[in-house]
Amino acid sequence: MSDHEIILPGEPKALLQVEPVRPEAEYREAEPRRADDLPARFLEITAEGHPLLNAKGGLSAKRARQVQEFLGQNFSRKLSLAEMAAVCGLSPYHFVRAFSKTFGVPPHQYVLGLRLDFAEKLLVDRRMSITDIADLSGFSSQSHFTTMMKKYRNATPRQVRARQGRSQANE
């Protein structure tokens, strides 16, 4: 008999398979990572991306369009979850779940993507300071803007601006 089999009392011939105990390190590797630890996944999702309209438990096509328009017009200001949920007529709890199923990311990351896209467009204009761009894009500070740009776009605003300058010079 192997060390993974147990004989039950009263039934000497019955064998039960038991999973071997995995080392703690394997559990840590198997744990799912938090959404904010997945910048590569976030890079694949564009803010203008089409919602998954047939996602079970997600938003209806009408509600998805309404919230997308609302966020597109208001991303640069401070938004509360309750305010976003009210657009769809849902509680904040149900809104987050439905939004995430429909758009593939939580509302906060979706708004962050809109802000980063807008900021990248503004970086083309070299007359605007990075601080002004951060403020116009809805970031709390230049430091917050730089941190988020580095985390999700793998470049600082200055590096993005330099890249855009080089690509315009080559055209």
pLDDT at 159 over 70: yes
| Whether the predicted model's global pTM rises above the 0.75 cut | no
What is the average pLDDT across 18-43?
42
Percent share of the chain, pLDDT over 90: 56
pLDDT of residue 24: 44
Average confidence score pLDDT of the chain: 77
> Environment class of residue 81 by beta-carbon count within 10 Å: exposed (0-12), middle (13-18) or buried (19+)?
middle
Summarised one tens digit per residue, pLDDT across range 50-75 is 565 556 778 999 999 999 999 999 99
H helix intervals, 14-106 = 24-30, 39-44, 61-74, 81-88, 92-103
| CB 96 within 8 Å of CB 81 | yes
pLDDT of residue 99: 94
What is the average pLDDT across 140-167?
90
What is the average pLDDT across 86-90?
94
> Environment class of residue 5 by beta-carbon count within 10 Å: exposed (0-12), middle (13-18) or buried (19+)?
exposed
How many Å apart are CA 157 and CA 119, to the nearest integer?
9
What is the average pLDDT across 141-150?
96
- Pairwise pLDDT comparison (8 vs 123), residue with the higher score: 123
- Pairwise pLDDT comparison (69 vs 18), residue with the higher score: 69
What is the residue whose two structure tokens read 């993507």?
113
